Amino acid sequence: MNVKKQFKEGLITQNPVLVQLLGMCSTMAITTSIMNGLGMGVSVLIILTLSNIFIALLRKIIPDEVRIACYIVVIAGFVTCVQLLLKAYLPALDKSLGVFIPLIVVNCIILGRAEAFANKNTVGASALDGIFQGLGYTVVLVIMCFFRELFGSGKLMGFQIMPTSYTPALLLVLPVGGFLCLGALIAVMQWALAKSAKKKEGTKQ
């Protein structure tokens, strides 16, 4: 078990959104305010960690032929739990995230990690993978929310940050702003990764 390597993979080199390009739909749809981004990110983090643990536990029992269906049952179970908890304790957040909470069932990040990691690794490693991948997702969501909320509505966490004379760039809150923002982030990430890969090559020689 290599905690440091898993941490780096989850947040940077194998970042679910910026490198694996998974879970794009929710990333673009809900990142209009930091509260939404945090709520979504933490929900996915919890569901991902729990489903990773359970799938790792069951990995020797689940028959290979029907594994996807079994994963979905496990994931859907946790999504329902989280959705009911949100409805009970954070009804406002549940309302603003709307259909995107139940849609976590088909979020590629969770199914992808189950398929690619949890069914081959121990329970501990899978739990860590869930936490770090979930963190990587949350960080990207919050970064996108920061730019879109600050420049698209002049606020942060619902508080007015920009001077009132600032005309918000509505484009950023619209879906097209999500595409532009995500594209720019992916480009920056790829540029940084390519640069560090080049540096590594240089030090080896």
**CB-wise, 157 or 170, nearer to another protein?**
170
Residues 145, 36 contacting (CB under 8 angstroms): yes
Applying CB under 8 A, which part among 1-9, 54-62, 96-104, 169-177 lies near another protein? 169-177
**CB-wise, 3 or 176, nearer to another protein?**
176
CA distance 156 to 152: 10
Handedness of CA 93, 88, 56, 124 (dihedral sign): positive
**CB-wise, 7 or 147, nearer to another protein?**
147
With binding defined as CB under 8 A, does residue 171 bind another protein? yes
**x/- site string to another protein, residues 60 to 99, per CB under 8 A?**
----------------------------------------
Nearest distance from C-beta of residue 190 to another protein, angstroms: 13
Segment (H or E) for 142 = helix 123-153
**CB-wise, 91 or 183, nearer to another protein?**
183
Q: Name the token pair of 44.
A: 């996915």
The residue within the footprint of another protein, chosen from 85, 176, 188, 192 (CB under 8 A), is 176
With binding defined as CB under 8 A, does residue 170 bind another protein? yes
Nearest distance from C-beta of residue 167 to another protein, angstroms: 6
- For the chain, the straight-line distance linking the first and the last C-alpha, in angstroms and rounded, comes to 30
With binding defined as CB under 8 A, does residue 174 bind another protein? yes
Secondary structure class of 18 (helix, strand, coil): coil
Q: What does DSSP assign to residue 33?
A: S
Nearest distance from C-beta of residue 171 to another protein, angstroms: 4
DSSP characters for 37-68? HHHHHHHHHHHHHHHHHHHHHHTTTS-GGGHH
Residues 40, 30 contacting (CB under 8 angstroms): yes
* Apex 135 CA angle, 133 and 141, nearest 5: 105
Residue 159's φ and ψ, nearest 5 degrees, are -95, 140
The residue within the footprint of another protein, chosen from 70, 169, 186, 189 (CB under 8 A), is 169
Q: Which of residues 177-196 bind another protein (CB under 8 A)?
A: 180
**CB-wise, 66 or 179, nearer to another protein?**
179
Query: Which spans of this chain sit near another protein (rule: CB under 8 A)?
Result: 167, 169-172, 174, 176, 180
